[in-house]
Each structure stands twice: as structure tokens, then as C-alpha cells.
Chain A
Amino acid sequence: MNNKNIIRFIFLWLLVFLAIFDGLAQNKVLKGKITDVNGNPVTNAIISVVNNPDEVSSSDQDGNFMINGQPGQYLKITVADLYQKTVKVENETMAISLTANDELISLGYGILHPKEEMTMAFGTVKSNELSRSSAVLSANALYGKIAGLSVLQNGGIPGSDDPTLLMRASGTTRSNNLLILVDGFERPLSYFALSEIESVVLLKDAPSLALYGLRGANGVLLVTTKMNNGQTQKPQIKIGYETGITKPFRKPVFYDAFGYAKAYNEALTNDGLPAQYSQSDLDNYKSGISPYFYPNVNWSDEAFRNFGRRDNFNISFSGSNKSLKYYTLLDYLNDDGLLKPVGLNDGYSTQIKYNRLNLRTNLEINMTATTKLKVRIGGTLIDNNQPTESASNIVNAIYAIPSSAFPVRTYNGAWGGTSTYGNNPVALIAAKGYSVYRTRGVMADIRVEQKLDFLLKGLTLEAAYSNDNFINRRDSKTQNFAYSQIGLARDPSTGTVIDTVETKYGQKTNLAFSTGINNLRKGSTILGKLDYKKVWGNNTISSALFYQQEELVLLGRYNTYLHQLMATNIHYSNSGKYFADLSVAYTGTNLLTKSYRFGFFPAASLAWNLSKEDWFNDRVINNLKIRASYGIAGNDQVPQDMDISLNPNATGYYFGANNTALGGWSEGKLAPGNLSFEKSYKSSLGLDAKLFKKLDISLDAYYDIRKDILTTSIGTISNIVGLATAYKMGGIVTNKGIDAELGFRDNNGDFGYYFTGRFSYGKSKIKEMSEEYKPYDYLKRTGESVGQAFGLEAVGFFRDASDIAASPVQQFGEVGPGDVKYKDQNNDDIIDEFDEIPLGHSTLFPEIYYSGSVGIVYKGIGFDAVFQGIGNYSVYANTRHVFWPTYGNANITTFSDNRWTPQTVATATLPRISTNQSLNNYRPNSIWIMDGSYMKLRSLELYYELPKSLISRFKVGNVRIYLRGMDLFSIDHIDVVDPENIGINYPTLASYHLGIKLGL
């Protein structure tokens, strides 16, 4: 960005406001009282006279204030960063009550607008609702909490289960990562304890996202850490303690030894091969008479404990006085995973143990009457102990090894194993050593606000700087283990057992130390900002102009991300009825070539509060606001090495008598040329309403067109070019849908209840993706949603040879009775890749995401429940052992119960099993592309808030005791495993917690 441009930008912005003048008149003493939503007095609210910065006052313990002013002027009431209300002075005495509509909503960059005046689509959730989760990682507290935010679970390893966060359905075929900002700066949410988060806001439409320029198109999630809200002078101490147990949410049920051996025989018979297990073998497996030679091991039980444990303790201190606000938090969390066995190793543990300590100090200092300093410093210390073998390898072993394969230990005490199965899961956990991953992180930012009324009334200068540093280091001690197989030796003539034969494998080694840096992260941001607020007549304008530059450096090559941004947001309101926003950003990124790295992102929005109009009858509809917006945001998440056009590391050539190749230099992927960022043209219509004074409704409809999505040009550019084809900006995706939110709340003395429902529906459509030629329309990805599943349509199973002979030839190898029979879509009598059609829905993003919460409270006793579900989502159930059994020595689960056998021809829903990988059966088809929708009970909580009368004598402010269950059940179509976790992963968890919260 050119310095001249920056100056020009500032100049134009100021020019807009210099044209506006105001006059002065005689002052009187005005009196007022401020109350909050519940009618309680609001202390420490700042009252100022708009356009007269010399007049500032604050409310006392009873919410009363006095200030010099005159009727016709406007008073601005601000409660920390929480509420803001502008009131026109009608009388000399006023009763001012703050409502939910006066809540301040952040747009980032320190820009806050009262909810009532918002012209944009957003969703928000506050700490009181977030604190009803016992999740290890904060993002897992967000399921269903914000309309339009899809949270998709990823496994269950403590501390590694960060979910995928998406705004609405994906509008791009490339990266759709949200931009996550904590206190205004890009930081991983996983470094923050849930207890330190005050609020989360999702920005969803153009006027707010345009402010993020070429980083905004996928949505922005703004997270704010806690601060003392300045309500009391008295220091507040809050203590929370929670203890809980975790257990696998759902584990696949593998066949026992007898069942496996029988199934394996069945698979061999299907293949026309002799059975492997004789009747006496089967009997021995069934009776369990000889556990060393005919073992029957439930590997899941051997390797997983029934329960893991999770504890969380936190304590916070906060307070405020005229010149200082502070908030200090210490949060400690410990989660012992589910692995077994414990205590086998002296001096160290191979268990999963996740320990996290978060520290935070947030300060706000009024240095002078016009200077405010805000400092936020957070630290995180994470020690994560794990077995050296990765959890995924361990779970893979648990899944892969049949119950009948070998005993955990031979009767000699050696680890069991065979030449086929060398990965004894229990040994993988206990006998391969351990790794400790240590994360150390500091996040610090400082922000100064200086009022510049002496230059121009209403002008404020703000500067902020953040600097974050993280390191994740691994220390490992690794060893290998020996294992043995003990078989029976039989007399060749009689078949009777005469001896045992031990075969040894592997070699036990000593613990070997290794260490390494796993990740590094350094982020720093500079922000400079001018704010200008002005009121005249019925008009209010508040605007911000800012410059920001961000630097993020991660470990490794091509991992530096630089962004530069100049932007303005101008917010206008008239009479509390008409609102408008204009946002413009000019931003650049280092990821693109010089001439194409900057973009201009304008957006505008309008809102009209109909219920404030005189003609509006507000008996039923108490509040009604409609909104509309249009604008552009971008997405610059492109590969960073696109620019490389010559690769000095290409294969060389072996001339001469020398075993080193003479380096050949060759071109890499060709330079992107005019490639640029994605542009998202976003339009949105919204409606906010309150009915019967209790029912809040918010509705948003949107239509996005995403253009200039990077695609490969392989479909159009010939190989004769002689080089890997370059990217081009060939993709267009549209995305349309609705977000709806409905809230109902009622209090009746001791009895209160509420209901909240959120529903999102979004459908993407690929308009253009430079697709390779497809001879039939139904094969085309273009025109389908992003991630649409494709596969063959199964029409049943082959009955016999004559059925096979009479059917089209299936081109995926030999087929036999019980194999999947496919529909010939193009009627060419051949079943091949040309017969694949769209099946189900997208496997990447659900089209429907919904949630519902209900709660009832009576005399301090209450319960809350949160349900959340998804719909119009497909999963490709291709997990070996679970869905695809027996071939290549794979295991088998109860999922396969309903497979084809000669006896179950009429009822079978799955193909025959085989010891060979059937490429005919095991490929994307309508059997394996399954309905991935589910509805889960995300949390259920019973609580008791002790009556004040009981606890006040102990000088305790409040006490809350609760019992909470998380992820207790799911209604879905997968049954055998968690529909959110169908691969070979550490299980997702259900958990139960008992906790207490004290306020002193």
C-alpha cells in the first residue's frame, strides 16, 4: 500500500464530516436514573452529553446521575463495552432503562454498535450460555449456539479435538476457514479457556465482512475475553470447580473370536476357498477353554478404560474504580484420556494426560480524563502426555485386530502378536514409550484511546499493538517391544497336540530420547484508528477509519502471512428508525503477486425500525426491524508457493563416473500471473422482531456469489504444454440460504422458563469449476453442491451366475453371487465410472444445521437442555474393519450382521464378505454413501442455586451446584459409530460432570 494512498484516504474521510456544524445553548442540571433489563440500578454508567465532551458524569450505587445539559440535546449512556444508549433529553428528569437492544455488538477493530442500530446480520453468544459446557476446547462449546455457525466435531482426543468451524454452507470449493479473532487479533481459539471468554460474535454479511477485506468472505468470528463490567466497587472473586468422567460416546462392536472365525470361514467359502477354522477350532473359540491358543480378546476393552476423568478449576478476581478496571483469571484443566493399562512403567506414564493452565490479566486504566489504556495479557501452558504411538495408530490396531488373533500376553508373559498382526494395541500403548507435547504461549495486546476533542469534537485516536508467541515442543522417549506367537505343534499323523512352538518377533529396545519443535507461531498486529462521533438534529453519525497490518509467521517455509488494510465504517442513524452503514476496505496480502495483491471492498446496508413509526400498532408486534445489505468480501487463502516458476531441486542427470546427479533446474508449476483472491458478492435481507413482549425472532436470508475461485486448468490445458498446469481463477460458486433464530423467555415469580431455537439452511451450487470433460450430464460436478457425493447406484445383489450373465458387465473385477449389482445409467451394457451419479448430499458440509435449548427454573432449581442436529449431509462409510470387513485380514463388526449369505438373499442389505478386496463392492456407491444426519443431546444440566437467605450469613454472594451431561445420545442412521466420527479415530466422548460455582 502506497503511503500517499493512506493519506488520501484519511483526508477524504475527514472531509465528509467537516461539513457538519452544530450550535450551542444554555445548560441546565439534568437528573436521571438508569436501570438494566431486570429493573436493577446500573452503577458506573458513563453519561455524556453528545457534542459536548466537557460534560461527563457517572451513575452512583442507585443508578442516579446528574449532568449539565438542556432539553433537545442527546445523552449518551455507556456501560463499559456492554451497553450503549443515546437518549434525547425531553425533560429535566429522566428514567432510562437499558434493554437487550442496547447491547453493544462488536464489528472488530474496537467498533461497537448498539444492537438496536445494527443493520447487519450477526449472531452472538455470551459467557453465561457458554459456561454451560464442559468442553476442553472452547470451540466445542459452540454447537448450535449461533445461527449460521456450523460446528463439526473432530474426534475426541483431549486437547486435539478442535472442531471445524464454518459460516453457513461453504461458498467455495477451496479453503473455507473462518477468520477467528480474539480481542481483535488473529489467534487460535484452542489456546483460550472457556472461562476467560466473555462473548462470541459471528459476522455474517457484507458490511461487516467487507471491513476484513480479502480475509472476510468466509465469515469472521470475534471472541472477546472477560473484563470487569464496572458494576461494583467491591472486588469480586469467582471460583468454579468441576469434576467429571468421560466415556466413549459410541464404540463399534467387533465380533468375538468365535464370530470372527465363523465370518472368516464364510468369507473363504464365498471365495471358493477351503475354510480356515475347523469345527473344533470354532468350538474352542466359543467355549474359551484355551485362552492362550484360542484367545477371545475384546481389544477395545483391553485398551480403553471405561471412564476417563476431567477436572477443571478456575478462580477470577476483578474489580474497578474510577481509574482502573481489572480482571484476573487462573484456569486449570486436566483430562486423563481413556487409554489402558495404567501404571505399567516405572517413572513415566504413557497415558494421555492433558494439562492446561491459562492465566489472564485484563486491565483498563484511565490515565487522564481523555486517555484510556487497555492491556490484555493471556498465557497458556499446556503439557500433553501421550504414548509415542499416535492415537490413530493405536485405534487402528484396536479396530484391525480380530478377537481371535492372539492373546494380550502369551502364557510366558510376553506381548502377544503374530507375523500378520504385529501391532498389539496394549503394547502400542504401554511398551513404546511416551511423548510430551509442551505448548507455551503468550498473547499480549495493548490499546490506547486518546480523545482529541481539542482538535475536533467527537474525534478519538486509538492505537493498538499485539504480539503473540507460541511454541509447541515435543520430547519423546521411544522404544520398541518384542512379541511372541505361541502355536500348537501337532503330530502329523494323528493330529494330536504334542508341543507348543514359540515364534519371537521384534526386539525390545531401551528408551531413546528425541525432541523437536512441532509448531511455532508468531503473530503481531498494529492498528491505528480514528473515531468520530457526531449528533445533529435527529441524526447521529459514528464512524471509524483505521489502518492495520498483520504479520503471522508459522513454522516452516512458505508460512509467512502478511496483511495490510485500510478501512472505514460509517454508521448513520436517524430518529432511532432509520439506520445505514457504509464499509469500505482496501486490503492487500503477501500471498499474491505484486500487481494483484490489493483489493477494494465496498459494502452498504440499511435498516428500518417500523415499530418506531407513529402509524405502527405495537400491541402484538412490539418491535420490528428490517434490514438489507449488499457488498463484497474476499478470500485470499491460496497456496503460498504459487509464485514459484523455477524449481532448483528438480531431478538431475547422472553424467560421468559419479554417484551424484548433476542438478537439473526445471520449471515448477507456472507462475500464477493474474491470479487474485476470491470475491464474494454478498446480498442479505433480514428481519428482527419481538412479539407478545416475549418472543424474539430473527431471520436472515442470503445469496452469495463467489467468483474467481482458484481451480486447476487440467480440464482445458493440454499435457503437451509439458508442465504441471497452473491454477486459474475459473471457479464460481453460489450459496443461498436462511438463518433463523427464535427465543422465548418468561418469568413468573419463582418460576421461569425459556426456549431458544436456531435453524440454518444453506445450499451451495458450483456454477463453474473448469471441470474436465464429462460425456454425460449426470457425471458433472458443475451444477452440484460443493462436496456432493458421487457413486454407483446399487440395485441389489447378484443372485447367481445366470443373473450375472444377464446383467451388464461390471468393470471392477470378477463378480459372484452376493456382490453388488449396479444400475447401468447410460445403457451401454457396461458398468464403469461413467455410471456414477450424484448420491445423497455433500460429504463436506451439512445443508441443515439446527439446535434447540429449553430450560425451566423454579425456586433456584432448574434444568437446561441443548439439542443440536444436522440434516442433508452424507458420509462415505468406507472405514475398513467397521464398514468394510474381512478382506486383507480386516476385522468385522456387528454392522455387517445383515450381509448377503446364501440364506439371507431376500433380506440382505450389505454385499457378501470376502477375503479379497472387492473393488466391485468397495467403492463409492449407494450402499456406502449413507445419510449422515443426526440429532444429538449436546448438554443436559440440572442445577440448584442456593437461596440468598441461606448463604448470605457465610458472606457468599451466590452458590450454584450442578450436574451436567454432555453428548449423551444421538439419533442417527449410522448406529455402529458416532456419525460425526466414522473413520478410525479416537472415540468421541460422552461425559458427566459435577460442579460448583461460588461468587464471593
Chain B
Amino acid sequence: MKNIIICFFFSGIVCFFSSCAKIELGGDFLSNPPDMTTINKDTVFNDIKYAERFLFGAYGTLPWPIKYNVSQYYYLENLTDICSAAKGLPAYYNGTITAVDENTGVGAGKFNYYSGAWGGIRICNIFIANIDKVPSASETYKRQLKAEARAIMATLYCNLYRHYGGIMWINKDLPVTTIGEFPRLTARATMDSIVALCDKAIPDLPWVIDDIINWEGRFTKAGAMGIKARTLLFGASPLFNSATPYKEGEAATRKLMWNGSYDANLWIKARDAAKELITRVESEGGYVINKSTGNYRKDFQNAYFTRGYGETLISTRRSYLANTSDTYGIVWYNGVVNYTQEYVDMFPMANGKPITDPTSGYDPKNPYVNRDPRLYESVLVNGDAYQGRKAELWIGGKERVTVDDSPTYTGYGPRKFILDHDNVTLGGAIEQFPLLRLPEIYLSYAEAENEVNNGPTAEAYRCVNIVRNRVGLGNLPSGLSKENFREAVLNERALEFAMEEVRWFDIVRWKREDVFKKQLHGMRIYKAGNVLTYELFPLDVRNWSINWNPKWYLSAFPYLEIQKNYGLIQNPGWEI
């Protein structure tokens, strides 16, 4: 009897258990619950669609400078003579920034800004190593994808190269637990490596994107050739290509931030790279610089703003539709993009003559009429059409309510990229960032040709003039000296590429201490009745203009990176 009760009881327990929940005993119990599904490399590289998505992650790391404001300096343009930040950039402007300031948090400094780049480089390395495993895709397409990955890497490295000089070269899937020795390459080796990447990518890339509707934005042959030209021009310029380093230090001894000697051949290489691209563009088409609507301003706007317009060799994006309350829409209106009087004065008259030329027709009492159309498209100037009316930039005007109004603190407002900053022109427009435009290649070519031949050739003139003619400016005066022609080209680049991260690298690679030392100015316009008076005022002195140190040419590696002991050597002047 007792045993029967026990049996009955135990079977009852068993029923109770099994009805309450699924009972797993023993070895399977700890197997992952359903929410732990993981995707791994094998999944990704088993299907071309997944593999593509993996590569798109790398595209997502391409620079988008106008939307990425770095707390240490907002925008690269803010460090140049063309633009100043009304809000001030204490660390840079007062000269107290150190390698420590590059340390903390994403966005603190360039290195971490470009840790987006390190992430992209990682993705590309993994992609290149694994794409061949994908079973169901044509070899041609796989080769093209691989070339895209290489072009992305080259683009990311090119930026690192221009900020730091020689850089750590990562060409494999690095383990995350140990790092070992990872010294910087020399500046020369870095340049050569970037060029080699481009050379490897170029043959497998399409010249233009055929399915422009769906795939505009992917890398093309022209884009990779452009990056090659950009890299070679930087490497040929005096910052690196010189008989002496710009500053002594361990990094200089090891040739990490200069080439170790002057090599005239580098100019030839730079010229040839640009020429190759130009020749191909002019013979094969697909890209064009002088597409005309008859309206020069509109032409220029299309050139940098409109996707697929033909001038953009590499465009990047972080979103699709522009928005007035977007990061840059807001930040720029907070007073970080304040163009200087020096910049405005660089723009010639519409007839192409500089305003300093007495015959130019420049009227200091009416300074914003008949100027280079690009002035109006880059800088918001008083009296220009704006939001369906005229821009009022005098003190008390709509755009500049008080003298300290931060968006227009220098007397000028931002215009490029944000247009009228309203929903008519900007809101809902399709965005891109023109990471590399064809005019840069033309101007790079002209510059290198001038250096190679110790003076401008007809071909050099032709290339500059193509850019000038596009906005209706006449040709450059002939017979310029080598120096004057170089200056004219750098000037042209400044006018063409406001907020496109060109000016900074130009003044750096030419070691333009004089530009760094410029006293910059703003403009105060007073209105009494209908009479406007113009008063120039000096902007706050940047520490480097009085306390010059060539260390500013390149960036500091974050202090903590140096301390991780993998062989990273700091750039001169930034050592602690």
C-alpha cells in the first residue's frame, strides 16, 4: 500500500513538472535561448547580398566633413584664413591644445574622428580577405567589390596621411586582444602604399556608374584615380618633399613626417596622375566640368550640391534629404562658420580681375556687386537674394540683429551647403558631400605642371581657365611667374572649395606660415537711412599667429595611443 502511494505520488510529480514547462535536463540546458542568434563571418560571406551590406558598412565610414563637427576645432576650415568661429575654439585659437586633448571620446580629436577610418579600414581588410568565399557571385563582380574596398581604404588612408604624415599600415584583420608592434610607416612609404592601393583598385572599377539611379555614390575608376592624384600632390609638396624636415624630432629622424630628401620626380608623378585622369575624362566623357545652364551661380551650386551632376568624383553621404534643423543646419547657424574679410577679398570681380586691380571696377562703398559668382554661392553677403528677399547683414538687420550675432559675427553668413537655409531651397533637397571634385584635379594638374616646368605651360593655363570659365571669369593673365601662377592656383582652389577641406591642406603642404600668421578681419556694416558704411575690425588673435610653431602643420596623435606601446612615435612638437 505504502509503495503504491509513493508510486502514485511520484508519477504525480512527473506530470506536474512536465505540464508546467518544457523541462530540459542535462547537457542541453544551457544552450543559447532564441534571442541569442548570432551572425558571423560565415553567414556574411555565404551570400553576396550580405557581403555587399558588409561593404556598405565601410562606405559608411567615409568622411562627411560638413556634418561632423569635432569639439576641438568644429570644422577644418575654421583653422584656415578663410573662416573663423565666432564661438571661439579655445584649444586651437589660444594655442593650448595638446596631445592629451586628442584623447577622450569620439569627436575629441582627429584620430578618434578618424577611428571611423580605422573601423572602415578594418571592414575593408576583412572584406578583401573573405569575399572570394562567396559562392554565388561572378568573379568580375567580386573583383569590383574588392576594388571598391581598396578604394575606400585608400580614401581613408589619404586623410590620415594628410593629417599625420606616415601612418600605421593595417592590411589584415587585426586581433583585438593583442596588438604587438605597429610602428608608423615613413611618410614616403605611406604615400607609396596608398598609391599602390589605388593602382590595384583602378583596373577593376567601372569608369562611371551605369545604374546611376540606384548606385550613384559607389566607387569608380575616376574616384580612385582622383585619390591617387590627391595623395601624390600632397607627397610632392614642400611639407614632405623637402631637403629638411619642417621640424626636428624623433619622427623627423625616422622620416615619419617628411620624405627624407627633395625628389623632383614626385612632382612629375603628381602631374602625371592628374593628367592621366584629365586625359581620360576629356576623351571618354562621363564627367564634365563645364556643364552650363547659362546661370553661373546655378552651375556652381549644381557642381558641389547636386548628386550625379558630373563634377563629383567621390561623393559621400550620411543621409538622403537635407534638413534645415540638421546637424550642420543648426551648428552652422550657431556661429562656427564665419567667413573672414580676407576670404571675401580673395574673390575677384566677375570680370576676373582681383579687387586690388584699379581697373577692376571694385567699389569699396558697394563691395559686393559684380563679384565672382562663387562668392555669392559660398558666402552670404549683404544685399544678396536670400529667402525671397535681400539679405540684411548690417548691424540691426535681419541676419545680424546685434553686433555679436554669432551666425554672422564677421559680417558674413554661411551660404555654401545650406543655401537659403530654408525649406524652399534646402529642406528636402537631396544631399551629398563632394569629397573629391573634378576641378581639384584640374587645379592640381596645373599646379604640378607649373612646378615640373619651372613655370606655367599652356596646358597649365588651360586647366585653370577651364575652372574659371565655368563661372564666367576670364582667363588668368598670361606670362605669370612660377610663384605668381602657383599663388593664383592656390587662390583659385580657395575660392572653389569653401568648406570642402581643401584650403587647410593647401596651406599646410605649402608650409604657409604667412597664412597662419595673418591677422584676420571681419566687417561691420552700419546702416543710417539708406547709407551703408563699412568698418573693418580685427578678429581675435589666434595664438599661432603670434607664437608660431611649425608643429601645427600636422596633428598630434592622442597621448594615450602613444602610451599603448606599440611603437607609435609622436609628431614633432606634440611630445609631452
From A370, A646, A664, A720, contact of B38 by CB (8 A): A646
Given A467-B21, A658-B320, A722-B119, decide whether A713 and B176 contact each other with a Cβ distance below 8 A. yes
Nearest chain A residue, comparing its CB with the CB of B106: A719
Evaluate contact between B35 and A558: CB separation under 8 angstroms: yes
B29, B96, B119, B177: the one contacting A666 at CB < 8 Å is B119
Q: Cα distance A313–B52 when bound, in Å?
A: 66
Say which one of A34-42, A231-239, A649-657 lies at the interface with B: A649-657
Closest residue of chain A to B120, judged by CB? A722
A517→B122 CA distance, assembly (Å): 41
Q: Is the CB of B40 within 8 A of A664?
A: no
Do B218 and A655 have beta carbons less than 8 Å apart?
yes
B528 within 8 A of A: no
Known: A1-B27, A562-B30, A588-B30. A717 touches B57 (CB 8 A): no
A718 part of interface (Cβ distance < 8 Å) = yes
Enumerate chain A residues within 8 angstroms of B531, measured Cβ to Cβ: none
- Which of B17, B27, B50, B576 is in CB contact (< 8 Å) with A3? B27
Q: Which of B244-252, B460-468, B560-568 contacts A (4 or more CB under 8 A)?
A: B560-568
**Is B121 engaged at the interface, CB distance under 8 Å to the other chain?**
yes
B214 and A656: CB pair below 8 A? yes
Decide: A773 and B564 in contact? CB cutoff 8 A: yes
Chain B residue contacts of A775, Cβ below 8 A: 576
Residues of chain A with a CB closer than 8 A to B44's CB: 646, 665
Of A549, A725, A773, which one neighbours B25 at CB under 8 angstroms?
A549
Q: Knowing A662-B53, A665-B54 touch, does A564 contact B170 (C-beta < 8 A)?
A: no
Q: A3-B27, A526-B23, A665-B57 are known contacts. Are A653 and B122 too (CB-CB below 8 A)?
A: no
- A482 in the interface (beta carbon within 8 A): no
How long is the Cα–Cα vector from A463 to B35 in the complex, in angstroms? Answer: 31
Q: Give the complex CA separation of A725 and B179 in angstroms.
A: 11
Bound form: Cα–Cα A717–B568 in Å: 13
- Once the chains bind, are B17 and A465 in contact (CB under 8 Å)? yes
Contact A2 B26 (CB under 8 A): yes
How far apart sit A725 and B178, CA to CA, in the bound complex (Å)?
Answer: 11
Query: Which residue from B6, B100, B561, B563 sits with its C-beta under 8 Å from A719?
Result: B561
CB of A589 within 8 A of CB of B30, answer yes
Find out whether the CB atom of B33 lies under 8 angstroms from the CB atom of A650: no
Contact of B56 with A662 in the complex, beta carbons under 8 Å: yes
- Supposing A463-B13, A719-B112 touch, asked if A725 and B29 sit within 8 A by C-beta, the answer is no
Chain B: CB-nearest residue to A563: B30
The listed residue (A367, A663, A715, A725) touching B53 by CB distance below 8 A is A663
Does B532 belong to the interface (CB within 8 Å)? Answer: no
Contact with B along A714-743 (1 / 0, CB 8 A): 011111111101101000000000000000
Q: Enumerate chain B residues within 8 angstroms of A564, measured Cβ to Cβ.
A: 29-30
Report B360-381 residues with CB < 8 Å from chain A CB: none
- A549 touches which of B29, B119, B319, B576 (Cβ 8 Å): B29
Shortest C-beta distance, A898 to chain B (Å), equals: 32
B39 contacts A371, CB within 8 Å?
no
Cβ contacts under 8 Å, A652 to chain B = 53, 56-57, 60
Q: Which residue from A6, A448, A450, A644 sits with its C-beta under 8 Å from B26?
A: A6
**Chain B 14-54 near chain A by CB (<8 Å), digits 1 or 0:** 00110011010111011111011011110110000010111
Q: Which residue of A lies closest to B52 (CB)?
A: A662
Residues of A within 8 A of B182 (CB): 718, 720
Chain A CB within 8 A of B168 CB: yes
The answer to whether B174 touches A722, judged by C-beta atoms less than 8 angstroms apart, is: yes
Contact partner, B176, options A369, A661, A721, Cβ 8 Å: A721
**Pairwise interchain contact A1-B560, C-beta atoms closer than 8 A:** no
Contact (Cβ within 8 A) A722 B118:
yes
A92 interfacial by beta-carbon distance below 8 Å = no
Size of the chain A interface, CB-CB below 8 angstroms: 75
Chain A residues, CB < 8 A from B39? 645-648, 665
Interface string of B428-445 (1 = CB under 8 A from A): 001000000000000000
Whether a CB of chain B sits under 8 angstroms from the CB of A90 is no
Cβ of A599 within 8 Å of any chain B Cβ, yes or no, is no
* A656-B563 contact in complex given A646-B44, A720-B182, C-beta closer than 8 Å: no
CA distance A351 to B60 in the complex (A): 50
Q: Is B111 an interface residue (CB 8 A)?
A: yes
Q: Would A654 and B38 count as touching, CB distance under 8 A?
A: no
A655–B215 Cα distance when bound, in Å, is: 5
Query: Is B123 an interface residue, CB under 8 A from the partner?
Result: yes
CA gap between A772 and B105 in the complex, in Å? 14
Q: In the bound complex, do residue B177 and residue A673 qualify as a contact, i.e. CB atoms below 8 Å apart?
A: yes
Contact with B along A586-617 (1 / 0, CB 8 A): 00111000000100000000000000000000
CB of B50 to closest CB in A, whole Å: 6
Cα A717 to Cα B176 with chains together (Å): 7
Q: A654-B317, A721-B179, A723-B176 are in contact. Are A450 and B6 (CB under 8 A)?
A: yes
Q: Which of A294-312 contact B (CB under 8 A)?
A: none
Asked whether any CB of chain B lies closer than 8 Å to the CB of A368, the reply is yes
Contact count A vs B, C-beta below 8 Å: 202
Answer whether residue A557 sits at the interface, using C-beta atoms and an 8 A cutoff: yes
> What is the CA–CA distance of A715 and B123 in the complex, to the nearest angstrom?
23
Partner of A773, one of B38, B218, B563: B563
Q: Does residue A30 face the partner (Cβ distance < 8 Å to B)? A: no
CB-based contact A371/B6 at 8 Å: yes
Cβ of A369: which chain B residues have Cβ within 8 Å of it? 2
Would you give the shortest CB distance from A668 to chain B, in whole angstroms? 10
User: Taking the complex as formed, is B548 at the interface, i.e. its CB lies under 8 A from any CB of chain A?
Assistant: no
A670 at the interface (CB under 8 A from B): yes
A446 and B216 contact, CB distance less than 8 A: no
Task: Determine the distance from Cα of A833 to Cα of B560 in the docked complex, in whole angstroms.
Answer: 14
Question: Does any Cβ of B come within 8 Å of A972's Cβ?
Answer: no
**CA A309 to CA B58, docked complex, whole Å:** 61
Q: Is the CB of B174 within 8 A of A368?
A: no
Tell me, rounded to whole Å, the shortest Cβ–Cβ distance linking A302 to chain B.
Answer: 38
Q: Is A153 an interface residue (CB 8 A)?
A: no
Docked complex Cα distance between A68 and B141 (Å): 93
**In the assembled complex, B9 has its CB within 8 A of some CB on chain A:** yes
Once A3-B26, A450-B6, A653-B217 are accepted as A-B contacts, the answer to whether A719 and B57 lie under 8 Å apart by CB is no
- A651 in contact with B38 (CB, 8 Å): no
How far in angstroms is the closest Cβ of chain A from B24?
8
- Most A-side CB within 10 Å, residue of B57, B118, B174: B57
Report the minimum CB–CB distance from A37 to chain B (whole Å): 37
B59 at the interface (CB under 8 A from A): yes
Distance of A659 Cα from B320 Cα, bound (Å): 5
On whether the beta carbons of B38 and A643 are closer than 8 Å, the reply is yes
The answer to whether A654 touches B319 (Cβ under 8 A) is yes
Binary contact readout B303-328 vs A (1 if CB under 8 angstroms, 0 otherwise): 00000000000000111110000000
Q: B115: CB under 8 A from chain A?
A: yes
- With A448-B13, A719-B115 given, is the CB distance from A368 to B120 under 8 Å? no
Does A590 contact B217, Cβ atoms closer than 8 Å? no
A653 pairs with B56, CB closer than 8 A: yes
Which residues of chain B are within 8 angstroms of A446 by Cβ–Cβ distance? 13, 16
Q: Mark B154-187, 1 if CB is under 8 A from A, else 0.
A: 0000000000000010100010110100100000
User: How long is the Cα–Cα vector from A725 to B182 in the complex, in angstroms?
Assistant: 17
Residues of B within 8 A of A127 (CB): none
Return 29 A-B CB contacts under 8 Å, by A number: A1-B26, A3-B26, A368-B2, A369-B2, A448-B9, A463-B13, A465-B13, A526-B17, A643-B36, A646-B38, A652-B53, A653-B60, A654-B320, A655-B59, A655-B218, A656-B217, A660-B320, A662-B53, A663-B53, A664-B53, A713-B177, A716-B179, A717-B564, A718-B564, A718-B568, A719-B112, A719-B561, A720-B168, A723-B119
Residues in B lying within 8 Å of A, measured CB to CB: 2, 5-6, 9-10, 13, 16-17, 20-21, 23, 25-27, 29-33, 35-36, 38-41, 43-44, 50, 52-54, 56-60, 96, 100, 111-112, 115, 118-123, 126, 168, 170, 174, 176-177, 179, 182, 213-218, 317-321, 430, 558, 560-561, 563-564, 566, 568, 576
In the complex, besides A467-B21, A589-B30, A666-B54, 5 extra interface pairs with C-beta distance below 8 angstroms are: A526-B25, A590-B31, A652-B53, A665-B57, A713-B176
* The 8 nearest A-B residue pairs measured at CB: A722-B122, A773-B563, A664-B57, A722-B118, A666-B57, A656-B214, A560-B33, A646-B39
